[in-house]
Structure 1
Amino acid sequence: MTSCSDPPPGGPAPSRPGAGAVRAWLFNAVLLGGAVALFTVGIRHLSAPVEIPFLPWWLLGALFCLTEAVPLHVAVRHEAHKFNLSDLPLLLAAAVLPGPGVALAVVTGALGGLIADRRKPPLHAVANLTSMLFYNAFAVVAYRLVLGPGAPTSGRGWLAAAAGTAALMVISNLTVTLGIALESGRWSPVVEPATGVGLVVAAVMSTTLALLVLDLADGHPPALVLLGLLAGLLLAACRVATQAWRRNTKLEILYQIVGERAADTESLGASLLTRVRDLLGCAVAEVVLYRGGAGGPLRLRIAHDNLLHADAPDAAELERTLAGQVAASGRSLVAGQPGGEADGRAHVAGQDRRHAIAVPLRGEGGVIGIVAAAERRSLQRFDAADVELLETVAAHAAAVLDNSILVDRLRYEAASREYDATHDALTGLANRGLLRSQLDSALAQALPRAAPVSVLLIDLDRFKRINDTWGHHVGDAVLQEMATRLRAAVPTGSTVGRLGGDEFAVVLPAGGDRWITEAVAADVRLILAEPVTVEGNDFTCGASVGVALSPDDGVDSPALLRRADEAMYADKSAGVRAA
């Protein structure tokens, strides 16, 4: 029933990939030995329960090969899933062929499986082949044990068909899951609920068809032509419906992407992630956006927790991911294709993934980002059709994202210019204009509440001597350290500014009385009096601090600043006299 030996979603890379491969090869050998034993002991000597001349082994083998090589694609719960109807030829072979004929039909069907797996790595292709031989042989033995001497079209035959199908489903999924666990070092079922429902439906359908074929072959052979025609039409209709669903889903998602009106780039990226997961049926999706001067790369990802994670990776980290490989090559890549450029595991959304797909987002100026997906919920691999589909989505999404990134860049540049115009370039503190504006605002807000507003003016006492003697580079380092200490010494919510040269000012949050303000001034004197080490030399400045409070010392900014300036020079004079 299953035809995939890929690792489970979310499984970490094994600590020693070689050890996992060795375990997988040994398990394949065990399965092959078990299949040979079942064919030799349990199947080889069986006779045909009923003989139907127009169902020879080669015809059933060809049907077996066809069902394995050409799977059925069905849309289940808004996702495309892949199933095969190999139960049909297997049950027919078990019901109408002797042991050797059953063995030939099953081996022929296994060749169909190899055709379907021709693009897989040798280990996975062999794993599928050996597991297919084993679980088909096991299902035949289960069918014949339950059938006993009964007829395939009797009630006991129906029960035997159900037993064979159930054995096939259980053993097939168990062998695939165990094989993956041995290779990856992590146990996890490979069948999602929606896929499991589809497998049961496909098994019931193929089993019912097999019983109907047997009944018609026994009583009304010509009716098999009509049954075959009906089955072919149903399969064709199913394929057409699935293709139509794919087209409609693609058009719907493209329409939604083009119509996006999100407020920012991050929201657009998150929306794209959701739509890519829905379109490809993946558990993991990732978008990396290159925003130029607007803050560097932005990475968004959604994994099994269904939560949006955002970060800003550096260039070295991105180079190790599948997105980084796509950015470097400028081409779409599918990880896990034997011999491909991204052969082996690919790092997507914080983990190594066995199978993943990534395509570039191209704007007017080149690649503006990467969109990647991994860990499909169905048992399908990514193929060329998925690459084409994701590239189409990426082309439309890139047009929307390119505009959003441009807006973000303009906002970032405007914010940068505004910051530069209101902050001191050396220390990053507010400049005179911003500090005056903050003081005006604090006074206006405090006036209705009659709350006092406090201002501190600070002048470094011995800075000029240090700057003239040791040079401007030492002086600049001292100023930067003093700015850092000032930020740490004042209460949260204060505005710290540099007025010019070695003069600083602080606007404290409204509401503090003179005692609190003087306490802050004392802390500032202490912390600025501590030595500053620059290039291995210790420099001690010290500081004079003047304090002014509204409304006692003034009710507007000029009056408060003037009074604080007077108080600062009085403090400096007192310090000089004390010295």
Structure 2
Amino acid sequence: MERAELVGGRLDRGAMALAQRTRRPRPQLMVGLLTLSMGAASAAVVFRFAADGVTAPASSAGLWWLAGLAVLFFLTEGFTVHVRVRRGAHGINVSEFGMVVGLLTFDPVTVILLRAVAGGAGLIAVRGQRGAKLAFNVALLAVQAAVGALVFHAITPHVLAGSADGIGPRTVLATYLAMIAADVVAAVLLTAVIAVHDDPGEWRRLPAALRSTWLVVVTTTVALISFLATTEPQWTPALIGIVAVVLLLAYRAYLALGDGNAEVEQLYGFTRALDGTRGIDDLVTVVLDRARDMLRAGTAELVVAHGDELRHTRLTGSSGRPAAHLGSPGADAWLGPALLGTPVRRPPGAAGDAMAVPVAFGEHRAVLVVADSLADAGGFTEAKLRLFGALANHAGAALGRADLVDRLRREAAEKQHLALHDPLSGLPNRRHFQELLEAGLAAARAAGTGLAVLVLDLDRFKEINDALGHETGDALLREVGERLRAHVDGRGRVARFGGDEFAVLLPTDGSPGAALAAAAELAEVVEQPIAIGPLVLAARASVGGAVAPAHGDDPETLIRHADVAMYAAKESTGLRLYDSELDRNSPQRLALIADLRRAVERGEITVAYQPKVDPRTGRVVGAEALARWRHPELGSVHPDVFIPLAEHSGLIWPLTLHVLRLALDCRAEWARAGHDLHVAVNLSPNSLLDAALPELVERLLEATGNPARSLTLEITESTILADPAGSLATLERLHALGVEISIDDFGTGYSSLGRLRELPLHEVKIDKSFVQRVAEDHRDRAVVRSAVQLGHALDLRVVAEGVEDVDTYAYLAAQGCDVVQGYLLSRPLPAEEFRQWLHIHSRNVTHTFG
């Protein structure tokens, strides 16, 4: 019979015991009211039977029968088989024997009182129950007896009349129905008290508890046979006892098998509970809660090794979130075998019984632990340790997946952050700033206010980088970014576009004056002295601004206009707002870029050649290839116009390759005509930084049939010395091919001459600004004379450009200049005209020098 004993689980575990739940007054109060209600109901039934004068069936029952019944009620409380329901359990015992004998032998008042008193004594003596738990169980014993008595006497009304017809089919039916009704009432009341006290979900398990009612039929049948056998010969009780023992053993075997099946079902339910995409923290909670339920423990925890420390995540008490703490070496010593891979049990003692099994997920060394076995669970056994190990295997796989998912999510978040933020300063990058600006513009339009975009660039930052190193430069950029962020915090946003360029977004009233004032504040913030280690640096910033909606109403336009204003600020006072007159990217300029792109793609760019002559012999030694563009509508476009356009629009690389190809083709024609000349081609600053340049040059030389020595690549001094380390690899590869390298516009830069000695150079070209006045300015003569001497000292060929008169030519020849070029000899000529000029000049030189 499933009956009213609160055994362990929800109402019998440590701090969860009913008598100790002082911190939850409402559940305790409700359980107390339920206990009083059951006691009152039982008393009402007793008074009703007493008032109605209900008598017992005819029998020879006497004092010995009464004492035997009391002993039977007392002893059956000590023999209880527990059917687990999560961490709680329903108790099943053989109290039907006492109830059947009592209903068939004594009056209902006696049965109810004897069941409550003798059964309560058994709970005290055999089960050791006390306090509120004892009160509830005694009240439930009385309710069961009262319900059984009510059903029994309702079906057998002859008892009310005092008649005695013996034990017939009707009496047997009444006995069965009385026992079943008592069992159902007990199941409902026990479920109710568990639901009220700890787990409202207990009602979902009521149908499973009611399905065990069939066991009542078995025990009632045995009880009826035993009672009837008392009127038979002496051997009948012995036979019935044998049958009872066999049934008892079979019943125990069935329960053992049921427990095994229940464990399999619970393990399956455990694995199902681990499914899903929850994070590692939620999954740990599920693992600990389920482990505690399955193994009937008061505490469950996950212990993870982090270096020499053990971090505990413990779940104890009622349902809730686990708590984390660091372990202590002494208390955790027993976990050593489990951390090394061997399950271990800790026997009961001062620290309480516990089990620990290894669980592996990711790179973590960890163990699962359950402790404080519940009173009715029978302690932690080897069988439970094996079950715990199987549970840990499933938990490890689930935790490993969750840990991997969490790491992937963190990596995705980090990548997303890196995609939107500058790694040096942590500020938003250009892409993120555009998104912020888009949102800010929408908000400003909705509110009818304005918005200012300020672009800030540090002046002479490269000098700080070169002089003090990149580490100092990076520290300066971080400090500037932090200052700007702190200055606009709560009002706007700061971004780093790259290099030493920052952008600031600020809501304003839309007036130019407010934007200019904000720009001045930013410049003042940046220009405060900055301490970096032992150094104190003074940075200066140029700030340009654009205001929405006056200067644009989309992110791209506002940023571009603020950038235009910033470059204008560098050339003036350091602060400028956008003005259309500052914008070189006018519609006409953009149209010219589009025309240039088409001209490059169609090969419409031509090359003119200016001869280079040895001033001592007059012989032509080479020519410089110069790009020329004749626009179909605008006519001839000067190189000083379209070359910067090509550099800023990304066309300089295909333009350079086009000029190289044409120049090498012409040089090959000169060679076939008997003129072994070299041809010089100018390279843009970005070309030298392209790692593919040497390979492309080598292919062009092979395709045109020219030796590498016949090609000279001219690079300006500022270009090659801006980043000598980055350019050195490309220069050395070109040098290895045999291509000659020339420094153009020599003398106009500001770099160290010592660096020239370290680079693989062949030629220096004195800028025409020094050459053109050499005949009349002694200072220019000194510069040219020094340049020639320096070049020869470095074993370099010296070229002078801009030679326009005979005196200059004669002076350069006297100073030992190796090569000259200029209008005195010839202007740049188209390819065909250059061939004609070369033929005539070569014939004249041959005739002159013989």
State the shift of 1:123 in Å: 0.6
What secondary structure, in the 3-state scheme, does the structure 1 residue paired with 2:323 have?
helix
- Summarize the Cα distance change of 1:398–1:326 in structure 2 as closer, same or farther, 3 Å threshold: farther
Q: How far, CA to CA, are the matches of 1:142 and 1:548 in structure 2? A: 87
Match of 1:154 in 2: 168
What is the alpha-carbon distance in structure 2 between the residues aligned to residue 188 and residue 319 of structure 1?
Answer: 14
2:486 alignment partner in structure 1: 477
Decide whether the 8 Å contact of 2:46 with 2:108 is kept in 1.
Answer: no
Give runs of aligned pairs for residues 319-468 of structure 1, distance below 5 A: 321=320, 323-324=322-323, 363=359, 384=379, 391-392=388-389, 395-397=392-394, 399-400=396-397, 403-404=400-401, 407=404, 411=408, 414-415=411-412, 418=415, 422=419, 423-424=421-422, 428-431=426-429, 459-460=454-455
Structure 2 residue runs without a partner (length 5+): 12-20, 307-312, 336-349, 436-451, 460-475, 527-542, 570-574, 582-850
Q: Deviations over 1:374-395 (max 9, x none)?
A: xx9xxx9767459868854554
- Shift in Å, 1:174: 6.9
**CA offset at residue 90 of structure 1?**
0.8
Secondary structure, in 3 states, of the residue corresponding to 2:322? helix
Pick one of 148, 165, 170 that aligns with 1:139: 148
Partner of 1:238: 251
Distance 1:269 1:179, change over 3 A: closer
Match of 1:108 in 2: 118
Is the CA contact 2:188–2:206 (under 8 Å) kept in the aligned structure 1?
Answer: no
* 1:165 corresponds to which of 179, 204, 208: 179
In structure 2, the residue matched to 1:509 is: none
Change (3 A) 1:5 1:153: same
Distance in 2 of aligned mates of 1:287 and 1:528: 62
Bigger relative contact order, structure 1 or 2 (CA pairs below 8 A, ≥6 apart): 1
| 1:87 matched to 2:96 | yes
Helix, strand or coil at the partner of 2:242: helix
Q: Distance in 2 between matches of 1:543 and 1:569?
A: 11
- Structure 1 residues 239 and 291, CA gap change in structure 2 (3 angstroms): same
CA contact (8 A) 1:258 1:397 kept: yes
Aligned residue among 187, 210, 233 for 2:223: 210
Summarize the Cα distance change of 1:472–1:325 in structure 2 as closer, same or farther, 3 Å threshold. closer
CA deviation map 1:327-358 (0-9, x unaligned): 879899xxxxxxx999xxxxxxxxxxxxxxx9
Q: Secondary structure at the match of 2:498?
A: strand
CA distance in 2, matches of 1:251, 1:176: 26
Structure 1 residues 44, 21: closer, same or farther in 2, change over 3 A? same
CA deviation digits over 1:274-302, x for unaligned, max 9?
A: 997699589xx999979999xxxxxxxxx
Q: How does 1:479-558 map to 2 (within 5 A)?
A: 484=493, 498-499=497-498, 501=500, 503-504=502-503, 543-544=545-546
- Aligned residue type for 2:60: E
Cα 1:288–1:110 shift into 2, 3 Å: closer
- The structure-2 alpha-carbon separation of the partners of 1:324 and 1:226, relative to structure 1 and needing over 3 Å to count, comes to farther
User: Which deviates more from structure 2 when the two are superposed, residues 523-532 or residues 140-149?
Assistant: 523-532
> Aligned partners of 2:83 and 2:138: how far apart in 1?
24
Q: Does 1:71 align with 2:72?
A: no
Distance 1:522 1:158, change over 3 A: same
Q: 1:59 and 1:211 mapped to 2: Cα distance?
A: 16
Distance in 1, Cα, partners of 2:196 & 2:265: 41
Paired residue for 2:139?
A: 130
Residues 267, 73 of structure 1: alpha-carbon distance in 2 compared, 3 angstrom cutoff: same
Once the two structures are TM-superposed, the CA of residue 192 in structure 1 deviates from its matched residue by: 0.7
Deviation at 1:128, TM superposition (A): 0.9
SS of the counterpart of 2:546?
Answer: strand
Change (3 A) 1:277 1:143: same
Provide the TM-score with structure 1 as the length reference: 0.54
Alpha-carbon distance, 1:482 to partner: 6.7
Output the CA distance in 1 between the equivalents of 2:568 and 2:92. 89
Q: Map Cα deviations across residues 131-155 of structure 1 (whole Å, 9 max, x no partner).
A: 3135425534653563452345213
Q: 1:574 to 1:171 in 2, by over 3 A?
A: closer
Any idea what the Cα deviations from partners look like across 1:180-214, whole Å, max 9, x if unmatched? 8998999997971111222x323333333333333
Q: What corresponds to 2:210 in structure 1?
A: 196
Cα gap change, 1:576/1:272 in structure 2, threshold over 3 Å: closer, same or farther? closer
Preserved contact between residue 50 and residue 109 of structure 2 (Cα < 8 Å): no
CA distance in 1, matches of 2:491, 2:303: 37
- 2:223, 2:243 → 1: CA distance? 14
Distance 1:204 1:188 in 2: 25
Contact 2:184/2:210 (8 A) holds in 1 = no
Give the SS at the match of 1:50: coil
What is the DSSP-based 3-state SS (H/G/I as helix, E as strand, rest coil) of the residue aligned with 1:133? helix
CA, structure 1 residues 242+325, in 2 after alignment: closer, same or farther (shift >3 Å)? Answer: farther
Can you list the C-alpha shifts for 1:212-243, whole angstroms capped at 9, x where unaligned?
33344445663444443333333322322332
SS in 1 for 2:167: coil
CA offsets, 1:25-48, max 9 Å, x none?
A: 981795498289559947999556
Number of residues of Structure 1 aligned to a counterpart in Structure 2 = 467
Offset of 1:477 from its aligned partner?
1.4
- Runs (5+) with no aligned partner, structure 1: 294-312, 333-339, 343-357, 439-456, 487-495, 507-519, 554-559
Change (3 A) 1:43 1:392: farther
1:264 Cα deviation from its structure 2 partner: 6.6
83-92 or 210-219, which deviates more: 210-219
Aligned partners of 1:142 and 1:160 also within 8 Å: yes
Task: Quote the Cα distance in structure 2 between the aligned partners of 1:138 and 1:525.
Answer: 92
When residues 19 and 254 of structure 1 are mapped into structure 2, their CA distance, relative to the original with a 3 A threshold, is closer
Code of the aligned partner of 1:150: A
Looking at structure 2, the residues matched to 527 and 85 of structure 1 have their Cα atoms a distance apart, in angstroms, of 92
Name the aligned partner's letter for residue 397 of structure 2. Answer: V
Decide whether the 8 Å contact of 2:152 with 2:175 is kept in 1.
yes
1:2 aligned partner, one-letter code: R
Q: TM-score, normalised by structure 2?
A: 0.40
Instruction: Determine the C-alpha separation between the residues in 1 that align with 2:511 and 2:245.
Output: 88
Equivalent residue number for residue 760 of structure 2: none
